[in-house]
């Protein structure tokens, strides 16, 4: 494996401090690492951007919990700035990840998670059927993330979290056709009812069909998602 390109990152990885641990002052840490304070400050900024440390005036430098979504956020943001169409390629990855981990995710859900799914469905339909109509974007995001929230895999969870940040970054949380939204939430209803009844296969089929709907959305921001194949069942 390639060596980490930072003395500070190597230090943090090897020490494996619990989140919230206060690190030594910059002068002491630079001596420990054998680098200048200037170089250390540069490495601290990289670690901060990656979400590995928090740097605050009164509390000093503290470690943070590892989050894969924070790690990939910078690269994904750069890609979307280069070309928003990269979102749809990332979306294909997300769709296949959700499909691949569907059964494991559903099996791990607790009763309170299923109650939350029902609550999210009620809130979403209330927004769609209310006056004025509201887009249930928060509910859309939380429903998907709740289904996969019990997975003991920070890379899967982190990738799915990053997807929703990208979704918002390209404006897909903004207005779209009402009938499209209604179709989306009908699929969500099928997914949730299948989870509650223990019919994981029916839920899987609804998930796969649902994630393909984005390719039928009206054109947004001057670009349209390319046609892609459905996720492969594994």
CA dihedral 31, 32, 33, 35 (to 10 degrees): 0
- Tokens 């947004």 map to which residue? 220
What pLDDT is recorded for position 90?
94
Q: Is 176 exposed, middle or buried (0-12, 13-18, 19+ CB in 10 A)?
A: middle
What pLDDT is recorded for position 221?
43
Per-10-residue mean pLDDT of the chain, 234 residues long, equals: 81 93 94 95 94 88 93 92 91 94 98 98 95 91 98 96 90 73 94 97 94 56 45 40
CA atoms within 13 A on the CB side of 25: 3
The distance from CA 95 to its chain's CA centroid, rounded to whole angstroms, is 12
Question: Token pair for residue 148?
Answer: 């996969």
The Cα 152–Cα 130 span in angstroms is 37
What pLDDT is recorded for position 57?
83
Q: Which domains does the chain have, with CATH numbers?
A: 7-63 (1.10.10.10), 69-216 (1.20.120.530)
Angle at 106 between CA 100 and CA 108, to 5 degrees: 110
């Amino acid at each position: 494996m390639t060596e980490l390109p930072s003395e500070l990152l190597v230090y943090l990885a090897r020490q494996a401090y619990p989140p919230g641990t206060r690190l030594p002052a910059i002068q002491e840490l630079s001596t420990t690492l054998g680098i200048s304070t200037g170089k250390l400050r540069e490495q601290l900024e990289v670690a901060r951007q990656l979400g590995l440390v928090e740097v605050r005036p009164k509390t000093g430098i503290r470690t943070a919990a590892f989050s894969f979504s924070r790690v990939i956020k910078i690269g994904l943001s750069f890609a979307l700035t280069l070309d928003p169409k990269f979102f749809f390629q990332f979306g294909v990855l997300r769709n296949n990840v959700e499909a691949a981990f569907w059964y494991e995710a559903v099996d791990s859900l607790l009763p309170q998670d299923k109650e939350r799914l029902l609550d999210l469905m009620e809130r979403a339909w209330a927004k769609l059927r209310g006056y004025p109509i509201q887009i249930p974007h928060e509910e859309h995001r939380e429903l998907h993330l709740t289904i996969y929230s019990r997975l003991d895999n920070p890379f899967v969870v982190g990738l799915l979290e990053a997807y929703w940040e990208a979704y918002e970054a390209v404006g897909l949380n903004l207005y779209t056709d009402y009938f499209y939204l209604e179709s989306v939430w009908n699929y969500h209803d099928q997914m949730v009812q299948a989870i509650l009844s223990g019919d994981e296969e029916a839920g899987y089929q609804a998930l796969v069909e649902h994630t393909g709907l984005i390719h039928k959305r009206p054109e947004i921001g001057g670009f349209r998602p390319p046609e892609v194949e459905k996720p492969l069942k594994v």
